[in-house]
């Protein structure tokens, strides 16, 4: 669930949580009403965003930031960084 929606009721998040509960427990829960509300919410938000290019740009930036924060490759040091750190370590010995 996006952090900017955490203080609101958001059907897609409810759907995801209930689907996880069903998967973990095997509970027999009819998710149809929640799934329908989630689809409606996503459609409404997609339409609102699509009408305003500034919203599209903002969401693209937020998604890029999220992707960068959760990309394991972006968290790994480069070969040059490792070499510099190794050289510094060896100098200090």
Q: What is the pLDDT of residues 21-79, one digit of tens each?
A: 999 999 999 999 999 999 999 999 899 989 999 999 999 999 988 888 888 776 777 88
* pLDDT score recorded for residue 66: 87
Same domain, 60 and 47: no
Burial of 35 (0-12, 13-18, 19+ CB in 10 A): middle
**Number of domains present in the structure of the chain:** 2
Same domain, 3 and 46: yes
Same domain, 4 and 47: yes
Same domain, 47 and 57: no
Same domain, 37 and 59: no
Query: Residue 4 pLDDT > 80, yes or no?
Result: no
Same domain, 6 and 26: yes
> In terms of residue numbers, what domain contains 19?
1-51
b/e string for 67-89 if b means 16 or more Cβ within 10 A? eeeeeeeeeeeeeeeeeeeeeee
């Amino acid at each position: 669930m996006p952090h900017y929606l955490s203080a609101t009721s958001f059907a897609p998040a409810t759907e995801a949580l209930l689907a996880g509960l069903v998967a973990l427990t095997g509970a027999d829960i009819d998710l149809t009403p929640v799934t329908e509300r989630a689809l409606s919410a996503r459609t409404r938000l997609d339409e609102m965003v699509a009408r305003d290019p500034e919203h599209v740009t903002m969401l693209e930036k937020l998604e890029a930031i999220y992707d960068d924060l959760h990309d394991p490759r972006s968290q790994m040091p480069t070969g040059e960084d490792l070499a510099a750190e190794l050289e510094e370590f060896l100098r200090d010995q």
